[in-house]
Amino acid sequence: MDGTAHIVNIAAFHKALSSGDFPVRWVDGFANYGLPMGSFAQQFTSYAGAFLTFLTHDVLVSFNFVYVIGTISSVVLFYLFLRFYFDSWPSFVGAFLFNFAPYRIINFYIRGAIPEYFSSVFFVLILICLYLFIKKKFKWAYIGLALSVFGMILSHPMNVVTSSVFIGPYLIYLILGEKNKLKTLISVSSSIFLGVLLSSYYLVPLLRDIKYFYYGSSVNHYNPTHLDLESFFNPNWYYFLTERNEILSRGHFIKTGLIESILMILGTLVVIIKRGLKKQISFIDVAILSGLLSVFLTTKYSSFLYQNINILSNIQFPWRMLSTLIFVPPIIASYLLVKIKNKYLSYILSIILITAIAWNRFPQIYGKNFTIIPQENYYFTVENIHSSNMNTIWTANTDDYQVHKNDKVAILEGEANLTDVSIMNSKRSFNIDSSAPVRMIDYTFYFPGWKVFVDGAEVPIEFQDVENKGVITYWVPEGKHTVEVIFTNTKTVLAGNYLSLFGLMAIGFMSLILSRPKKV
């Protein structure tokens, strides 16, 4: 499903990087005549896959390697985080349970949602850095937190919203245990702000330029696809869902897992009993609260929130809250195992739980109907693989246009001789000789930033011709000229770049301060 789009992202970024473009903004050959998906596609997995492709020479292999890195990193990091609160064996069981969560398997083998899958790495890193900075007073965790926020945003901006349901309560819990609460809050907030600032090169164009796409014509992107009781308690997996006409890929049935739902119920009962005994608030209380909030936000009863809070609606599908919920049942399992005083009984229950997970989940670790296609099919797509919502508002469907893969530059009106034609990812150049003005066409979808220069002087671009809707056309005067068509940085892009540069300088400055030895 989504996997194809992300493989195309990797190919597009690899092609742009191969052409010398960095950071990647324009991706030629994407959606027929190209679009600025470098400013809108998820950054971390696209860049990681693209750089790996220089080594593997295969975008599919690179795509899988990114998944492997994300899987191993997230599991190890989550284990280390659990060790802050639990013994080694319960932490291992928790990490095992997390790794084989149904939603995690769905994102890997059914949806192919690699950015959302990979964002779990930075989610856990944020939790680790918060703990180390606030509880252990480890000063370098300040930098780690900023970089983790940066990584989370670049992995999947939507998951910043979903993860806040856990990170927010956890941060409050940690701060409440501090003597100087205001100072701690200011320090953490400044670190998070630095992470956001570092991300500006991506966030500013993403937020400002989305108005040029059909997607940006709406401020609320809520899609009422809520979970019902079956999603929480039905243990069955579906090879396909004929009632939804989903027969090509595996059934897109979003589920939490029966074992996970039982653990959520047990954990909630434990917290209720603790509250009745008026025990001090602990980490498990925070986890349960976050889990219940996540569950609520997946149900129809939360519709009014999505309809009235536009930031929340940006996750589009309420079931995306499962990207946070998958961490809660493993925490509950680790907590309950620790509370069992009989060591042997704890081991027996752990083995039963692991066996139950393996029995139910291991058979589901497979894909369906994978087709081997030539590599070049990922480097050039006629349709907008991210859906027509990501077409610019001045163009039609990208597959309605003729394909001009190898003849990007052409004469639309008049006669001329073209020589030294050079076609690169975000630049074209050629020499032209004509006895009369010539109207040229560049089979590229116009977007702010594209400019045409004739002998170094900018000439107007036309892109609203009914016959060539949204495509770059321009006039060249008679005579001999050198023409350049270049995708340049707009004021919005420059603003984002400068803000990121300022954030990088701030990180460097803070690193110098943290490196200074303490006065004796």
Report whether 406 contacts 394 (CB < 8 A): no
Q: Are residues 436 and 321 in the same domain?
A: no
CA dihedral of residues 45, 48, 51, 55 (deg, nearest 10): -110
| Burial of residue 406 (number of CB atoms within 10 Å: 0-12, 13-18, 19+) | exposed
Whether 503 maps to a domain, the answer reads no
- Give the pair of three-digit tokens for residue 383: 């349709």
Cα–Cα distance measured from residue 102 to residue 365, given in angstroms and rounded to the nearest whole number: 10
Whether 301 maps to a domain, the answer reads yes
144: pLDDT confidence band, cut at 50, 70 and 90?
Answer: very high
Q: Are residues 329 and 435 in the same domain?
A: no
Helix (H, G, I), strand (E, B) or coil at 206: helix
Residue 367's pLDDT is 85
**169-183, 230-244, 349-363 — which is least confidently predicted?**
230-244
Q: Are residues 344 and 465 in the same domain?
A: no
Mean pLDDT of 83-105: 96
- Give the pair of three-digit tokens for residue 397: 């469907």
- CATH code of residue 411: 2.60.40
Q: Name the DSSP class of 462.
A: B
Q: Are residues 287 and 331 in the same domain?
A: yes
Residue 432's pLDDT is 96
Mean pLDDT of 450-456: 96
Cα–Cα distance measured from residue 325 to residue 332, given in angstroms and rounded to the nearest whole number: 12
Cα–Cα distance measured from residue 38 to residue 296, given in angstroms and rounded to the nearest whole number: 35
Q: Which of 296, 339, 343 is nearest to 318 (CA)?
A: 296
Cα–Cα distance measured from residue 236 to residue 215, given in angstroms and rounded to the nearest whole number: 35
**77-91, 202-216, 371-385, 447-461 — which is least confidently predicted?**
371-385
Report the percent of the chain where pLDDT is more than 90: 82
Q: Which of 448, 447, 410, 402 is nearest to 428 (CA)?
A: 410
Helix (H, G, I), strand (E, B) or coil at 336: helix
Residue 423's pLDDT is 94
Its domain, for residue 62, covers 2-377
2: pLDDT confidence band, cut at 50, 70 and 90?
Answer: confident
Q: Are residues 89 and 204 in the same domain?
A: yes
Q: How far apart are the first and last CA of the chain?
A: 60
Identity at 391, one-letter amino acid code:
N
Read off the pLDDT of residues 67-80 as tens digits, 9 standing for 90 and up: 999 999 999 999 99
Whether 281 maps to a domain, the answer reads yes
Q: Are residues 192 and 320 in the same domain?
A: yes
Mean pLDDT of 425-434: 95
Pairing mode, if any, of strands 457-459 and 427-434?
A: unpaired
Q: Are residues 251 and 373 in the same domain?
A: yes
Read off the pLDDT of residues 97-134 as tens digits, 9 standing for 90 and up: 999 999 999 999 989 999 999 999 999 999 999 999 99
| Cα 512 from chain centroid (whole Å) | 31
- Give the pair of three-digit tokens for residue 365: 């670790």
519: pLDDT confidence band, cut at 50, 70 and 90?
Answer: low
Mean pLDDT of 335-352: 92
Cα–Cα distance measured from residue 263 to residue 282, given in angstroms and rounded to the nearest whole number: 18
Q: Are residues 146 and 254 in the same domain?
A: yes
- Greatest CA span in the chain, whole angstroms? 94
What are the percentages of helix, strand and coil residues in the chain, rounded to 5? 60, 10, 30
More confident residue, 277 or 419: 419
Whether 192 maps to a domain, the answer reads yes
Q: Which of 29, 33, 35 is nearest to 11 (CA)?
A: 29
Cα–Cα distance measured from residue 165 to residue 170, given in angstroms and rounded to the nearest whole number: 9
* pLDDT of 201 strictly over 60: yes
Q: Which of 108, 163, 196, 166 is nearest to 320 (CA)?
A: 163
- Give the pair of three-digit tokens for residue 217: 């014509």
Q: What is the mean pLDDT of the chain?
A: 93
Read off the pLDDT of residues 6-47 as tens digits, 9 standing for 90 and up: 999 999 999 999 999 999 999 998 999 999 999 999 999 999
Residue 520's pLDDT is 53
Q: Are residues 150 and 258 in the same domain?
A: yes
Count of the separate structural domains present in the chain: 2
Distances from the Cα of 197 to the Cα of 151, 190, 238, angstroms: 12, 10, 43
Q: Which of 4, 30, 47 is nearest to 391 (CA)?
A: 30
Helix (H, G, I), strand (E, B) or coil at 429: strand
Whether 391 maps to a domain, the answer reads no
Report whether 134 contacts 192 (CB < 8 A): no
| Cα 281 from chain centroid (whole Å) | 33
Whether 514 maps to a domain, the answer reads no
Whether 355 maps to a domain, the answer reads yes
| Cα 452 from chain centroid (whole Å) | 33
Whether 382 maps to a domain, the answer reads no
Helix (H, G, I), strand (E, B) or coil at 458: strand
Residue 517's pLDDT is 77
Q: Are residues 313 and 408 in the same domain?
A: no
User: Given 312, 342, 377, which residue is the final one in a domain?
Assistant: 377
Identity at 155, one-letter amino acid code:
S
Best mean pLDDT range from 55-69, 236-250, 265-279: 55-69
Q: Are residues 360 and 437 in the same domain?
A: no
Cα–Cα distance measured from residue 145 to residue 395, given in angstroms and rounded to the nearest whole number: 41
| Burial of residue 416 (number of CB atoms within 10 Å: 0-12, 13-18, 19+) | buried
Pairing mode, if any, of strands 417-423 and 427-434?
A: antiparallel
- Give the pair of three-digit tokens for residue 491: 């004021």
**How many residues does the structure list for the chain?**
520
CA Rg value for the chain: 26
User: Given 342, 377, 412, which residue is the final one in a domain?
Assistant: 377
Q: Are residues 458 and 342 in the same domain?
A: no
